[in-house]
Chain A
Amino acid sequence: MSTPELYGIAAEFTTAEAVTAAARHIKNAGFRRFEAYTPMPVEALDELIAGKQVALPLLIFCFGCIGFLVGFFMQYYLAVVDYPINVGGRPLNSWPAFGPITFEITVVFAVGGAFLAWFIFNRLPRLGTPLSAIPGFERATIDRYFLCVEASDPRFDRARLRWLFERCGAHRIAEVAA
């Protein structure tokens, strides 16, 4: 049951192990739209909250391929079509000479694409999340671990989540306003 004015239900944990265990329970219970807020990377959480991450390497690869084609055919167009010059009898399509620039532009596109995708996937630029309104949330950057199930999850159920979080040993549970 989703309530319009609610963003989600957040729970605060004191250890990385506790938040990982809770995330595993939440996932096993069928919830999909949840996010963790931790002071440092917790590797096990990555795998539990994955899904979207698979797309990023693939996207970077596609950007790299586009960069490769752009880099190569830009030089091909300049040297063969737009302004052909005979350099010491070498062929106009001197592809070995295009190599370094093609490589550089491949890298620029891949890295630029990665940065852009990272920006968009993280919903930047934004100054905070609705969780910022919880008192003490700033400790997510110091020593506390937060887990928030969003109200847009199809299985969202306030009472059930509270019960789950409590069973997982949550230090504190808060409802987050949208």
Chain B
Amino acid sequence: MTLLQLRRGALGAGLAGTVACAIGAIWAPQEFFAAWLAAYVFWLGVPLGALALVEVHDLTGGRWALTVRPGLTASLLTLPLFILVFIPIFFFLPELYSWARPDEAAYLPNTFYLDAPFFIGRFAGYFVIWLILAAIALLRSPLDGDGASGGLGAVSGIGLVLLAFTATFAAFDWVMSLEPHWFSTMFGLIVGSGQFTTGLCVVILVALMAKRMPAPGEGPPSDRFHDLGSILLAVLLLWAYFEFMQFLIIWEEDLRDEIGWYVKRLYGPWGSVMLTIVLGHFVVPFLALIWSPVKRSRGALGAVCALVLVTGLIDVWWMVLPEFPGGFTWFAPVAAMGMGGLALALFLWRFERGLAKAERRIPAPRGVRFERGVSHG
């Protein structure tokens, strides 16, 4: 399967999923918006995770960035799409958020924050910051060099702080406010580290699948993937730490206003979903990645990344969907496919152009032909 075929397939799946969702939304708007929001929170991890990775790399350096460079650039360039796909939600806020329904909001103490114009204003604010950071990262890209860090200067440090705050508040706004009485200060970091994981897995998977010439100074493939596997392990540990600490604190306090969030998610069908997430998003990848040969094998590392991506999507469903009477509907996978297809098509389009540019830059050794085909790993 070549990149072009994959891109056409992604675009087809994206359009089909989006159209199916749009038609279904006529009959079941709330179910559609719940699924659309979950898909949004999941796929936004692609550009946001890439942004965080670029800035972390700028601070710490490392050869691994050379391996994922084309993927990171393409991920950053998908960011504008995520402004577009959120716009329908603005027109139907009361379908999603009880604070946007005047009769229910009357009892809320925090309506100054949970207020439609302010909500939209904050959305604009987050994207202004993210777009500026992404633009700086792309224009002054340290990734064009030899893998050394420092090209962004002070921007990367300040950028990471800004990113942590904006991602936290974005998670508060979009997901936590679904239940306006419930709060957890750690929630933003849980969603944010989940998005970081998504972004990282996508660029690793793409780097594993794309057959291309290594950039100068990149080192042998097994070493490069070993580093990426170690980073994935660290990020998963961070995610698990946040997730467990929130659960531990709320479980120990057992307060009426807080425990309800977990009661909805720990019992019944969502309880087994949670076990799936714990196993697939932490236990299995953890045990696999502490074993060095897994990190050195394309197939095994790819399988771990795929598992983490799938369970990451299930994790977002587990956070968003129990708040709605409809729960899990056919909209959830179709919306994820629709938005993911569109994002992937855009991603692959930029990725291909990035590869073509990189090939022009690296002088080809005689007798070696560049391959741009993508095979399923």
Contact = CB atoms under 8 A, between A and B. Distances in A.
- Counting from the closest, the 4 A-B pairs by CB-CB distance are A96-B248, A96-B251, A99-B248, A97-B252
B104 to A, nearest CB: 32
B267 interface: no
B247 A88 contact: no
Interface in A16-69: 57, 61
Nearest to A54: B292
Contacts of B244: 96, 99
A48 B259 CA distance: 56
B144 interface: no
Nearest to B244: A99
Given A88-B254, A90-B254, A61 B248 contact: no
Interface of B: 244, 247-248, 251-252, 254, 290-292
A54 to B, nearest CB: 9
A90 B247 CA distance: 15
Nearest to A100: B248
Contacts of B291: 57
Given A57-B291, A88-B254, A96-B251, 13 more contacts: A57-B290, A57-B292, A61-B290, A90-B254, A96-B244, A96-B247, A96-B248, A96-B252, A97-B248, A97-B252, A99-B244, A99-B248, A100-B248
A19 B232 CA distance: 35
B206 to A, nearest CB: 28
A164 to B, nearest CB: 28
Nearest to B252: A97
Nearest to B291: A57
A51 to B, nearest CB: 15
Contacts of A100: 248
Interface of A is mostly: helix
Interface of A: 57, 61, 88, 90, 96-97, 99-100
Nearest to B292: A57
Contacts of B247: 96
A96 B259 CA distance: 14
A134 B68 CA distance: 49
Contacts of A61: 290
A132 to B, nearest CB: 33
Contacts of A57: 290-292
Nearest to B251: A96
Contacts of B254: 88, 90
B12 to A, nearest CB: 45
16 contacts: A57-B290, A57-B291, A57-B292, A61-B290, A88-B254, A90-B254, A96-B244, A96-B247, A96-B248, A96-B251, A96-B252, A97-B248, A97-B252, A99-B244, A99-B248, A100-B248
A16 B290 CA distance: 30
A100 B249 CA distance: 12
A137 B165 CA distance: 56
B259 to A, nearest CB: 12
A61 B288 CA distance: 12
A97 B247 CA distance: 10
B254 to A, nearest CB: 7
A88 B253 CA distance: 10
B198 to A, nearest CB: 25
A93 to B, nearest CB: 13
Contacts of A96: 244, 247-248, 251-252
A94 to B, nearest CB: 8
Among A61, A96, A97, the most chain B Cβ lie within 10 Å of the Cβ of A96
Contacts of B290: 57, 61
Nearest to A61: B290
Nearest to A58: B291
A88 B259 CA distance: 15
A57 B290 CA distance: 9
B239 to A, nearest CB: 15
Contacts of B252: 96-97
Nearest to A43: B223
A77 B308 CA distance: 35
B223 to A, nearest CB: 9
A142 B243 CA distance: 49
